[in-house]
Amino acid sequence: MDNGAGSYRRFLDGDDTGLEEIVKDYKDGLLFYLNGFVNNLSVAEELMEETFFKLITKKPKFTPKNTFKTWLYTVGRNVAIDYLRRNSKMADTSLDELETVLRDEWDLEQSYLAEENKISLHRAIKRLHPEYRQILWLVYFEDFSGKEVAGVMKKNSKQIKNLLYRAKKALKSELEKEGFVYEEL
């Protein structure tokens, strides 16, 4: 389960510490994301606060179709777009320019989330048995073939196949503990 989703659920049930955890965990990343829309750190901070205020007052429904973080950033994005609509800068910007800005922001968000996923993946791999870490590293990061891995690890191909299966299964379990599933497994 996604930690943010659990914290939000607790907040909706009346536990204010859930909201405190959400703010603590997501405020920095959300601030930088929103700054990409407005190019003004003080305005981005106001938009971040407005995003959290929206969670407090309107209590929008979170559906676990995506991760909590993706949902929260979508709420923040909508707040930023509303802000841009209310300001005159929007009138001076052509639709094509705005599309480009929004596309660039989407790319920035995707690269940020991809980096977060990489960090989570490496953390999960570090928690695995050393043999599992070794085989996953050789196969997925070094692009070794099964035969090459067998030579390095001094095992036969059947042992490598079984070890790789168990390593992927253990990694999937570790990743699910962090609240997401890696499609490539």
Q: What is the pLDDT of residues 119-153, one digit of tens each?
A: 777 788 888 888 888 888 888 877 888 888 888 88
Written as six digits, the tokens of 150 are 């067998």
Q: Is pLDDT of 185 > 60?
A: no
Q: How far is CA 130 from CA 12, 44, 119, in A?
A: 41, 43, 18
The per-residue pLDDT for range 3-19, each reduced to its tens digit, is 678 888 888 888 889 88
Q: What is the mean pLDDT of residues 47-70?
A: 86
Give CA–CA dist 122/118, Å, rounded: 6
Q: What is the pLDDT of residue 181?
A: 52
pLDDT per position as a tens digit, 149-183:
888 888 898 998 999 999 999 988 888 887 765 55
**DSSP H helices in 13-64:** 16-38, 41-57
**Residue 91 pLDDT > 60:** no
What does pLDDT average to over the chain?
82
Decide if pLDDT at 37 tops 90: no
pTM for this structure? 0.49
The domain spans of the chain are 1-92
1-92: CATH, from 3.30.70.20, 1.10.1740.10, 3.40.50.300, 3.90.850.10: 1.10.1740.10
Within 8 A by CB and 6+ apart from 99, the residues are none
Helix (H/G/I), strand (E/B), else coil: 124: helix
Helix (H, G, I), strand (E, B) or coil at 136: helix
